[in-house]
Amino acid sequence: MDSLAKMKKRMLTFSLLGIILFLNLFLLDSLIIKVESLKQEYETLSKKIENSNSNISHISEKDIEKLFNGNEVKNAN
C-alpha cells in the first residue's frame, strides 16, 4: 500500500508539472504575439512620423507668412 501511495503522489506531481509547463508555454506564446503586434504598431507609427516630417520640410517660410497674415486679416474683421 505504501508503494501505491508513492506512485499516486509521483503521478500527481508530474501531472502538476505538466500543467505548469503547458501554461508557461501558452503564456509565452501569447506574450510573443503581443510583442510582435506592438512592434508592427511601432513601425507603422514611425513611418507616419517620417511622412509627416517630410511633409513639414516642404513648407516654405513664405507659406508660413501667408498663413499668419491670413489669420491676422481674419482676426481684424
pTM: 0.50
- pLDDT tens sequence across 14-66: 999 999 999 999 899 999 999 999 999 999 998 888 887 776 766 777 777 77
**Shortest CA distance to 41 belongs to which of 49, 30, 31?**
49
Q: Which domain holds residue 43?
A: 2-76
Position with higher pLDDT, 9 vs 58: 9
Q: Give the count of domains, the chain.
A: 1
Helix or strand or coil: residue 1?
coil
Alpha-carbon gap, residue 47 to 50, rounded angstroms: 5
Count CB atoms within 10 A of the CB of residue 56. Answer: 8
